[in-house]
Amino acid sequence: MRIVIAGGHGQIALRLERLLAARGEEVAGLIRRPEQADDLRAAGAEPVLCNLESASVEEVAAHLQGADAAVFAAGAGPGSGVARKDTVDRAAAVLFADAAVRTRVRRHIVVSSMGADPEHEGDDVFDAYQRAKGEADAYVRRLDALDWTILRPGMLTDDPGTGLVRLEASTGRGPIPRDDVAAVLAELLDTPATAGLTLEVVGGSTPVSVAVKSVAGN
């Protein structure tokens, strides 16, 4: 498979790139800054310079040509303000999905946020983030040309992964290592029967492969 990851230098994306490269997949990661390229190469991924806040849908589509799957793992990140929650967490996700439709890359996975909701209330930056992620998720769900899966992790940690998760439509809040989120994403890419599902994931007691097969109905 060739897999293109938006937000290729993110903490989850780099972990996912390592996992996919280790099993022999061809991986490309979209990055904003040239100095991020070496980290992607070290993870086994091809760095592709593409700023999703300024690129056109045609430019993004060019990077998706020939891909078998696309993963949106970009985010404005901590310390960013309300404006970038909109330009990255909403608009870039919409742009990436539109580019996938244009290039007929059907398999599409979105790393979202637990509690994402376009109707989320509040004036804080985190409230704007939850609205932006919710609006992006709602947009992707409307695209019949995509076989989408939306993954909403709980509180992310840098603890070593356990390989054990709770993956359901609704899990309730809880922590999860970024290692385990990446492992779930890799398994979702292998499990097309999860298309059309919005899933929450936190640390749990079920091996990742078993958890994904369970939600897929296998």
Q: Which residues are catalytic?
A: 129
Specify burial of residue 166 (Cβ count, 10 A radius: 0-12, 13-18, 19+).
Answer: middle
Residue listed under structure tokens 């890799």: 186
Q: CB under 8 Å to 152, separation ≥6 — which residues? A: 112, 113, 114, 115, 116, 198, 199, 200, 201
Backbone angles phi, psi at 194, to 5 degrees: -85, 0
- 46 with 40: CB under 8 angstroms? yes
Burial degree of 206 (CB within 10 A; 0-12, 13-18, 19+): middle
CA 132 vs CA 74, 121, 169: distances in Å: 13, 12, 20
Radius of gyration in angstroms for the set of CA atoms belonging to the chain, rounded to a whole number: 16
Contact between 84 and 62 (Cβ < 8 Å) = no
User: For residue 4, what is the enclosing H or E element?
Assistant: strand 2-6
